[in-house]
Structure 1
Protein backbone atom coordinates (compact mmCIF):
# COMPACT_ATOMS: atom_id res chain seq x y z
CA UNK A 1 0.00 0.00 0.00
CA UNK A 2 2.70 2.48 1.03
CA UNK A 3 4.74 1.52 -2.04
CA UNK A 4 1.68 2.22 -4.22
CA UNK A 5 1.33 5.68 -2.65
CA UNK A 6 5.02 6.44 -3.16
CA UNK A 7 4.81 5.27 -6.78
CA UNK A 8 1.70 7.42 -7.35
CA UNK A 9 3.38 10.47 -5.81
CA UNK A 10 6.56 9.91 -7.84
CA UNK A 11 4.46 9.54 -10.97
CA UNK A 12 2.65 12.81 -10.19
CA UNK A 13 5.97 14.58 -9.58
CA UNK A 14 7.47 13.27 -12.81
CA UNK A 15 4.38 14.24 -14.80
CA UNK A 16 4.41 17.66 -13.13
CA UNK A 17 8.07 18.11 -14.10
CA UNK A 18 7.03 17.69 -17.73
CA UNK A 19 4.36 20.39 -17.37
CA UNK A 20 1.26 18.23 -16.86
CA UNK A 21 -1.20 20.67 -15.25
CA UNK A 22 -3.51 17.88 -14.13
CA UNK A 23 -0.66 16.19 -12.23
CA UNK A 24 0.28 19.53 -10.68
CA UNK A 25 -3.32 20.04 -9.57
CA UNK A 26 -3.41 16.55 -8.04
CA UNK A 27 -0.19 17.26 -6.10
CA UNK A 28 -1.68 20.56 -4.98
CA UNK A 29 -4.84 18.83 -3.76
CA UNK A 30 -2.81 16.20 -1.89
CA UNK A 31 -0.72 18.72 0.03
CA UNK A 32 -2.56 22.05 0.22
CA UNK A 33 -4.34 21.44 3.54
CA UNK A 34 -1.23 20.21 5.35
CA UNK A 35 0.83 23.11 4.00
CA UNK A 36 -1.87 25.60 5.00
CA UNK A 37 -1.83 24.21 8.55
CA UNK A 38 1.94 24.70 8.69
CA UNK A 39 1.58 28.27 7.44
CA UNK A 40 -1.09 28.99 10.04
CA UNK A 41 1.08 27.64 12.86
CA UNK A 42 3.83 30.05 11.91
CA UNK A 43 1.90 33.09 10.73
CA UNK A 44 -1.41 32.92 12.59
CA UNK A 45 -3.14 35.01 9.92
CA UNK A 46 -5.36 33.19 7.44
CA UNK A 47 -4.63 35.46 4.48
CA UNK A 48 -0.86 35.37 5.06
CA UNK A 49 -0.90 31.57 5.35
CA UNK A 50 -2.92 31.28 2.13
CA UNK A 51 -0.51 33.60 0.29
CA UNK A 52 2.55 31.72 1.55
CA UNK A 53 1.07 28.37 0.52
CA UNK A 54 0.23 29.63 -2.97
CA UNK A 55 3.71 31.14 -3.38
CA UNK A 56 5.25 27.92 -2.12
CA UNK A 57 3.42 25.80 -4.68
CA UNK A 58 4.35 28.21 -7.48
CA UNK A 59 8.02 28.06 -6.44
CA UNK A 60 7.88 24.29 -6.02
CA UNK A 61 6.48 23.75 -9.51
CA UNK A 62 8.96 26.24 -11.04
CA UNK A 63 11.85 24.44 -9.33
CA UNK A 64 10.62 20.87 -9.61
CA UNK A 65 13.63 20.04 -11.79
CA UNK A 66 15.73 20.52 -8.61
CA UNK A 67 13.74 17.89 -6.69
CA UNK A 68 15.93 14.76 -6.59
CA UNK A 69 13.91 12.42 -4.32
CA UNK A 70 16.37 12.84 -1.44
CA UNK A 71 13.21 13.24 0.64
CA UNK A 72 9.52 12.95 -0.11
CA UNK A 73 7.86 15.64 -2.18
CA UNK A 74 5.80 16.55 0.91
CA UNK A 75 8.91 17.06 3.05
CA UNK A 76 10.53 19.15 0.30
CA UNK A 77 7.39 21.29 -0.05
CA UNK A 78 7.08 21.61 3.74
CA UNK A 79 10.59 23.05 3.92
CA UNK A 80 9.64 25.61 1.25
CA UNK A 81 6.51 26.61 3.20
CA UNK A 82 8.44 26.91 6.48
CA UNK A 83 11.23 28.95 4.88
CA UNK A 84 8.73 31.27 3.18
CA UNK A 85 6.78 31.65 6.44
CA UNK A 86 9.91 32.57 8.36
CA UNK A 87 11.04 34.97 5.62
CA UNK A 88 7.59 36.56 5.72
CA UNK A 89 7.94 37.10 9.46
CA UNK A 90 11.39 38.60 8.96
CA UNK A 91 10.01 41.04 6.40
CA UNK A 92 7.34 42.05 8.90
CA UNK A 93 10.24 42.62 11.32
CA UNK A 94 9.06 40.10 13.87
CA UNK A 95 12.39 38.77 15.16
CA UNK A 96 13.15 35.84 17.40
CA UNK A 97 12.92 36.76 21.05
CA UNK A 98 16.36 37.75 22.24
CA UNK A 99 17.63 35.25 24.78
CA UNK A 100 18.38 37.88 27.42
CA UNK A 101 14.98 39.52 27.05
CA UNK A 102 13.06 36.60 28.48
CA UNK A 103 14.49 34.99 31.58
CA UNK A 104 11.96 32.59 33.03
CA UNK A 105 12.76 30.31 35.89
CA UNK A 106 10.42 27.60 37.05
CA UNK A 107 10.85 25.90 40.37
CA UNK A 108 9.23 22.69 39.20
CA UNK A 109 9.52 20.64 36.07
CA UNK A 110 6.25 19.33 34.63
CA UNK A 111 5.27 15.83 35.69
CA UNK A 112 4.97 12.99 33.21
CA UNK A 113 1.34 12.07 33.79
CA UNK A 114 -0.87 11.04 30.85
CA UNK A 115 -2.28 13.96 28.86
CA UNK A 116 -5.99 14.26 28.10
CA UNK A 117 -7.68 16.35 25.39
CA UNK A 118 -8.17 19.28 27.74
CA UNK A 119 -4.41 19.37 28.31
CA UNK A 120 -3.76 19.29 24.55
CA UNK A 121 -6.05 22.31 24.12
CA UNK A 122 -4.19 24.10 26.92
CA UNK A 123 -0.89 23.39 25.17
CA UNK A 124 -2.25 24.74 21.87
CA UNK A 125 -3.51 27.90 23.59
CA UNK A 126 -0.21 28.19 25.44
CA UNK A 127 1.81 27.96 22.22
CA UNK A 128 -0.30 30.77 20.74
CA UNK A 129 0.60 33.00 23.70
CA UNK A 130 4.36 32.45 23.41
CA UNK A 131 6.58 35.26 22.11
CA UNK A 132 7.05 34.77 18.37
CA UNK A 133 10.63 33.49 18.56
CA UNK A 134 9.73 30.89 21.14
CA UNK A 135 6.65 29.91 19.17
CA UNK A 136 8.77 29.34 16.04
CA UNK A 137 11.26 27.15 17.91
CA UNK A 138 8.46 25.07 19.48
CA UNK A 139 6.72 24.71 16.10
CA UNK A 140 9.89 23.68 14.28
CA UNK A 141 11.15 21.28 16.94
CA UNK A 142 8.04 19.69 18.40
CA UNK A 143 5.48 19.96 15.63
CA UNK A 144 7.57 19.85 12.45
CA UNK A 145 10.26 17.49 13.77
CA UNK A 146 13.30 19.56 12.85
CA UNK A 147 16.47 19.00 14.88
CA UNK A 148 18.42 21.91 16.35
CA UNK A 149 20.97 21.94 13.54
CA UNK A 150 18.19 22.25 10.94
CA UNK A 151 16.43 24.92 13.02
CA UNK A 152 19.68 26.85 13.19
CA UNK A 153 20.02 26.73 9.40
CA UNK A 154 16.40 27.76 8.80
CA UNK A 155 16.45 30.62 11.31
CA UNK A 156 20.04 31.71 10.75
CA UNK A 157 21.09 31.01 14.35
CA UNK A 158 23.59 28.65 15.93
CA UNK A 159 22.66 25.15 17.04
CA UNK A 160 23.34 26.11 20.66
CA UNK A 161 21.07 29.17 20.36
CA UNK A 162 18.33 26.92 19.01
CA UNK A 163 18.75 24.58 21.97
CA UNK A 164 18.74 27.45 24.46
CA UNK A 165 15.72 29.08 22.83
CA UNK A 166 13.89 25.74 22.88
CA UNK A 167 14.68 25.18 26.55
CA UNK A 168 13.48 28.67 27.46
CA UNK A 169 10.42 28.34 25.23
CA UNK A 170 9.49 25.09 26.93
CA UNK A 171 9.79 26.71 30.37
CA UNK A 172 7.71 29.69 29.28
CA UNK A 173 5.11 27.35 27.79
CA UNK A 174 4.82 25.48 31.10
CA UNK A 175 4.43 28.80 32.90
CA UNK A 176 1.66 29.89 30.51
CA UNK A 177 -0.13 26.53 30.69
CA UNK A 178 -0.10 26.64 34.49
CA UNK A 179 -2.02 29.95 34.36
CA UNK A 180 -4.70 28.67 31.96
Structure 2
Protein backbone atom coordinates (compact mmCIF):
# COMPACT_ATOMS: atom_id res chain seq x y z
CA UNK A 1 0.00 0.00 0.00
CA UNK A 2 1.03 3.60 -0.21
CA UNK A 3 2.75 3.04 -3.53
CA UNK A 4 2.48 5.77 -6.11
CA UNK A 5 0.53 5.16 -9.29
CA UNK A 6 2.70 5.08 -12.42
CA UNK A 7 1.20 7.80 -14.61
CA UNK A 8 1.81 7.46 -18.34
CA UNK A 9 1.77 11.24 -18.71
CA UNK A 10 4.22 11.95 -15.87
CA UNK A 11 6.57 13.92 -18.12
CA UNK A 12 3.77 16.22 -19.31
CA UNK A 13 2.53 16.66 -15.74
CA UNK A 14 6.04 17.57 -14.56
CA UNK A 15 6.28 20.25 -17.26
CA UNK A 16 2.83 21.55 -16.30
CA UNK A 17 4.00 21.92 -12.71
CA UNK A 18 6.81 24.14 -14.05
CA UNK A 19 4.21 26.34 -15.78
CA UNK A 20 4.93 25.12 -19.31
CA UNK A 21 1.99 26.35 -21.44
CA UNK A 22 2.67 23.86 -24.24
CA UNK A 23 2.51 20.97 -21.75
CA UNK A 24 -0.76 22.36 -20.40
CA UNK A 25 -2.10 22.42 -23.94
CA UNK A 26 -0.99 18.80 -24.43
CA UNK A 27 -2.68 17.73 -21.21
CA UNK A 28 -5.84 19.55 -22.23
CA UNK A 29 -5.86 17.78 -25.60
CA UNK A 30 -5.35 14.41 -23.91
CA UNK A 31 -8.29 14.74 -21.52
CA UNK A 32 -10.68 17.43 -22.75
CA UNK A 33 -12.93 15.26 -24.92
CA UNK A 34 -13.60 12.66 -22.22
CA UNK A 35 -14.04 15.33 -19.55
CA UNK A 36 -16.40 17.32 -21.78
CA UNK A 37 -18.60 14.22 -22.07
CA UNK A 38 -18.75 14.00 -18.28
CA UNK A 39 -19.68 17.70 -18.07
CA UNK A 40 -22.34 17.36 -20.74
CA UNK A 41 -23.99 14.35 -19.11
CA UNK A 42 -24.28 16.29 -15.88
CA UNK A 43 -25.21 19.78 -17.14
CA UNK A 44 -27.31 18.59 -20.08
CA UNK A 45 -26.28 21.66 -22.09
CA UNK A 46 -23.43 22.02 -24.59
CA UNK A 47 -22.50 25.61 -23.70
CA UNK A 48 -22.72 24.98 -19.96
CA UNK A 49 -20.57 21.86 -20.37
CA UNK A 50 -17.92 23.90 -22.18
CA UNK A 51 -17.92 26.52 -19.42
CA UNK A 52 -17.68 23.89 -16.69
CA UNK A 53 -14.88 22.12 -18.55
CA UNK A 54 -12.84 25.32 -18.77
CA UNK A 55 -13.37 26.06 -15.08
CA UNK A 56 -12.35 22.51 -14.20
CA UNK A 57 -9.12 22.69 -16.19
CA UNK A 58 -8.25 26.09 -14.72
CA UNK A 59 -8.81 24.67 -11.25
CA UNK A 60 -6.78 21.55 -12.08
CA UNK A 61 -3.84 23.59 -13.38
CA UNK A 62 -3.95 25.90 -10.35
CA UNK A 63 -4.03 22.94 -7.97
CA UNK A 64 -1.79 20.54 -9.85
CA UNK A 65 0.70 20.48 -7.00
CA UNK A 66 -1.98 18.77 -4.88
CA UNK A 67 -2.09 15.79 -7.28
CA UNK A 68 -0.28 13.15 -5.28
CA UNK A 69 0.06 10.53 -7.99
CA UNK A 70 -1.64 7.75 -6.00
CA UNK A 71 -4.28 7.36 -8.75
CA UNK A 72 -4.43 8.04 -12.45
CA UNK A 73 -4.35 11.72 -13.34
CA UNK A 74 -7.55 11.22 -15.33
CA UNK A 75 -9.36 9.98 -12.23
CA UNK A 76 -8.13 12.99 -10.24
CA UNK A 77 -9.20 15.36 -13.01
CA UNK A 78 -12.57 13.62 -13.40
CA UNK A 79 -13.30 14.24 -9.73
CA UNK A 80 -12.62 17.96 -10.25
CA UNK A 81 -14.82 18.00 -13.36
CA UNK A 82 -17.70 16.26 -11.59
CA UNK A 83 -17.46 18.61 -8.61
CA UNK A 84 -17.43 21.67 -10.87
CA UNK A 85 -20.42 20.37 -12.83
CA UNK A 86 -22.35 19.62 -9.64
CA UNK A 87 -21.56 23.07 -8.27
CA UNK A 88 -22.77 24.56 -11.54
CA UNK A 89 -26.07 22.66 -11.25
CA UNK A 90 -26.47 23.83 -7.65
CA UNK A 91 -25.84 27.45 -8.62
CA UNK A 92 -28.23 27.24 -11.57
CA UNK A 93 -31.05 25.95 -9.45
CA UNK A 94 -32.23 27.48 -6.24
CA UNK A 95 -32.25 23.96 -4.88
CA UNK A 96 -32.28 20.42 -6.26
CA UNK A 97 -35.41 18.71 -5.10
CA UNK A 98 -34.51 16.04 -2.58
CA UNK A 99 -36.63 12.98 -2.12
CA UNK A 100 -37.53 12.11 1.42
CA UNK A 101 -35.60 9.12 2.71
CA UNK A 102 -38.64 7.37 4.11
CA UNK A 103 -40.54 7.28 0.81
CA UNK A 104 -40.29 3.76 -0.51
CA UNK A 105 -40.00 3.23 -4.23
CA UNK A 106 -43.42 2.20 -5.47
CA UNK A 107 -42.13 -0.38 -7.92
CA UNK A 108 -39.04 -2.23 -6.76
CA UNK A 109 -39.15 -4.74 -9.60
CA UNK A 110 -36.23 -4.46 -12.02
CA UNK A 111 -36.88 -2.30 -15.06
CA UNK A 112 -37.08 -4.35 -18.24
CA UNK A 113 -36.52 -2.72 -21.60
CA UNK A 114 -37.32 -4.22 -24.95
CA UNK A 115 -34.62 -4.33 -27.61
CA UNK A 116 -36.41 -1.52 -29.40
CA UNK A 117 -36.19 0.70 -26.32
CA UNK A 118 -32.45 0.21 -25.96
CA UNK A 119 -31.55 2.52 -28.84
CA UNK A 120 -28.78 4.72 -27.43
CA UNK A 121 -29.93 7.94 -29.08
CA UNK A 122 -33.43 7.49 -27.68
CA UNK A 123 -32.01 6.95 -24.21
CA UNK A 124 -29.84 10.06 -24.51
CA UNK A 125 -32.87 12.11 -25.56
CA UNK A 126 -34.90 10.67 -22.71
CA UNK A 127 -32.13 11.39 -20.21
CA UNK A 128 -32.24 15.06 -21.20
CA UNK A 129 -35.86 15.12 -20.04
CA UNK A 130 -35.04 13.87 -16.55
CA UNK A 131 -35.04 16.43 -13.73
CA UNK A 132 -31.50 17.54 -12.86
CA UNK A 133 -31.34 15.60 -9.59
CA UNK A 134 -32.44 12.37 -11.22
CA UNK A 135 -30.15 12.82 -14.22
CA UNK A 136 -27.22 13.65 -11.96
CA UNK A 137 -27.56 10.53 -9.78
CA UNK A 138 -28.35 8.37 -12.83
CA UNK A 139 -25.23 9.61 -14.66
CA UNK A 140 -22.93 9.33 -11.66
CA UNK A 141 -24.09 5.81 -10.84
CA UNK A 142 -24.68 4.15 -14.18
CA UNK A 143 -22.34 6.03 -16.50
CA UNK A 144 -19.52 7.28 -14.28
CA UNK A 145 -19.46 4.17 -12.09
CA UNK A 146 -19.74 5.73 -8.64
CA UNK A 147 -21.52 3.73 -5.95
CA UNK A 148 -24.33 5.20 -3.87
CA UNK A 149 -22.13 5.98 -0.87
CA UNK A 150 -19.73 7.96 -3.10
CA UNK A 151 -22.65 9.78 -4.75
CA UNK A 152 -24.08 10.61 -1.34
CA UNK A 153 -20.75 12.07 -0.29
CA UNK A 154 -20.31 14.06 -3.53
CA UNK A 155 -23.84 15.50 -3.47
CA UNK A 156 -24.17 15.91 0.28
CA UNK A 157 -27.21 13.63 0.51
CA UNK A 158 -27.82 10.33 2.23
CA UNK A 159 -27.04 7.02 0.59
CA UNK A 160 -30.71 6.05 0.70
CA UNK A 161 -31.63 9.31 -1.08
CA UNK A 162 -29.13 8.45 -3.80
CA UNK A 163 -30.64 4.99 -4.18
CA UNK A 164 -34.15 6.40 -4.20
CA UNK A 165 -33.30 9.03 -6.83
CA UNK A 166 -31.63 6.39 -8.97
CA UNK A 167 -34.66 4.09 -8.80
CA UNK A 168 -36.99 6.99 -9.55
CA UNK A 169 -34.81 8.09 -12.45
CA UNK A 170 -35.02 4.58 -13.95
CA UNK A 171 -38.78 4.61 -13.55
CA UNK A 172 -39.10 8.09 -15.09
CA UNK A 173 -36.79 7.11 -17.94
CA UNK A 174 -38.92 4.06 -18.63
CA UNK A 175 -42.06 6.23 -18.71
CA UNK A 176 -40.44 8.66 -21.14
CA UNK A 177 -39.29 5.83 -23.40
CA UNK A 178 -42.70 4.15 -23.32
CA UNK A 179 -44.42 7.41 -24.31
CA UNK A 180 -42.03 7.68 -27.27
CA UNK A 181 -42.96 4.16 -28.39
CA UNK A 182 -46.69 5.00 -28.21
CA UNK A 183 -46.32 8.15 -30.29
CA UNK A 184 -43.98 6.79 -32.96
Q: TM-score, structure 1 length as denominator?
A: 0.85
Q: Which structure 2 residue ranges, 5 or more long, are not aligned?
A: 1-5
1:54–1:87 Cα change, 3 Å: same
CA distance in 2 between counterparts of 1:12 and 1:98 reads 42
* 1:153 shift after superposition: 1.2
Check whether the contact 1:140–1:146 (CA below 8 A) recurs between aligned residues: yes
Q: Which runs of 5+ in 1 are unaligned?
A: 1-5
Query: 1:31 maps to which residue?
Result: 31
Alpha-carbon distance between aligned partners in 2 of 1:122 and 1:104, rounded to the nearest angstrom:
25
- Pairs within 5 Å for 1:75-154: 75-93=75-93, 95-99=95-99, 105=106, 109-111=110-112, 115=115, 119-154=119-154
Aligned to 1:40: 40
CA offsets per residue over residues 5-24 of structure 1, 9 Å max, x none?
A: x6541221122112222211
Deviating 4+ runs (over 4 angstroms): 102-109, 115-118
The alignment of Structure 1 onto Structure 2 pairs a total of residues equal to 173
Indicate the residue corresponding to 2:156 in structure 1: 156
| Structure 1: distance between partners of 2:110 and 2:163 | 17
The match for 2:3 is: none
RMSD, aligned CA: 2.4
Q: Which has the higher helix share?
A: 1
Instruction: Output the CA distance in 1 between the equivalents of 2:39 and 2:153.
Output: 19
